Structure 1
Amino acid sequence: MTGALLAEPLTAAAFRSFGDVIEAGGAPDMLINEGLCGRFHDRARLDFTDGRAGLSLFDAEARSWPCRIDMMERHPLGSQTFVPLNGVAMLVTVAPDEGGRPGAPRAFLSGPGQVVNLLRATWHGVLAPMGARGHYAVIDRIGPGENLEEYRFKTPLYVEGPQP
């Protein structure tokens, strides 16, 4: 894997084959709490094998442009959701599976209020908050079995930030 990749804005349509972009946009699906709260209902395709959903907190070091990607990982037994807690944009690098290893990667930069749910077995780069430390709530599978596969690139990939 060589060369540079340009991060594109994170949109639900562009990201659909890798997972879900979750955000509260438009009218809510329903009003709850005596009409005082809009509920945007069932926005992620959460998927777990032989386990349960767990909630963890992550504290990730800041990354900068160009962002070096040495490896990708995937979780074959469950989806994984990243909920930013401090508003820092995150670089989300993903790739389709090609014979048990990452195929052609794509890179996305999250915007304010965006949450990412990675589908089960989606190849992805490590958590990469851009420009400042990132704090995240992460919802993923807790249970028996090996739920982590890693692939190290022979040559690193570099991701450039969006151009103004």
Structure 2
Amino acid sequence: MSRVIKAQPLTAQAFAPFGDVLEASGAPDKIINQGMCGRFHDLAQMDFAAGRAGISLFHAQPRALPYTLDMVERHPQGSQAFLPMSQDSFLVIVAPDLGDAPGLPAAFLTRPGQGVNYHRGTWHGVLTPLAAPGLFAVVDRIGEGANLQEHWFDQPYQITL
């Protein structure tokens, strides 16, 4: 028997314990480029142990709802930002840290144009686009040393809307 978690809309307040919501909403912080561009400045705190920030592209296969969550992962050496390269929503799954294991997961559904930055060490689900193309720019730590821990649930969760 699986446990059901209902995805909620992604908001900065609800997501704050796990990371930052990245979006261009409201008035920009500054107008640049001859008055033709609004800059939404410094939206996330990138946090790395030894190593450096790198930018990668991820191309993930779309998933369907209900989604079966059987595993979460975390990166103890650095934060990780996911910026969709299309105007499609995606599923964001996080869980509080209970020492060496995740607590009860929470699920969020992004609005088109939202991205996320997971704080260093935050338990999170795998990249879960709900529509093609599933293309994301990812900013995360590049460096030596183990930076991936996985936790497999004894009993999976079902994520629904």
TM-score by length of 1: 0.94
Taking the aligned partners of 1:71 and 1:143, their CA distance within structure 2 comes to: 24
Gaps of 5+ in 2: none
User: What is the aligned-residue identity percentage?
Assistant: 57
Query: CA-to-partner distance for each residue in 1:26-65, whole Å, 9 max, x for gaps?
Result: 1111111122211111000111111111111111111111
Matched, 1:31 2:22: no
Task: Within 5 Å, give how 1:7-26 maps onto structure 2.
Answer: 7-26=7-26
Correspondence for 1:56: 56
Taking the aligned partners of 2:119 and 2:2, their CA distance within structure 1 comes to: 25
1:87 Cα offset (Å): 2.1
CA contact (8 A) 1:72 1:124 kept: yes
CA contact (8 A) 1:9 1:110 kept: yes
Taking the aligned partners of 1:109 and 1:22, their CA distance within structure 2 comes to: 13
CA contact (8 A) 1:32 1:38 kept: yes
Task: Within 5 Å, give how 1:10-159 maps onto structure 2.
Answer: 10-159=10-159
Gaps of 5+ in 1: none
The number of equivalent residue pairs is 161
Taking the aligned partners of 2:11 and 2:155, their CA distance within structure 1 comes to: 28
Report the aligned-residue RMSD: 1.2
Query: Where does structure 1 differ by over 4 angstroms across 4 or more consecutive aligned residues?
Result: none
The one-letter code matched in structure 1 to 2:72 is: M
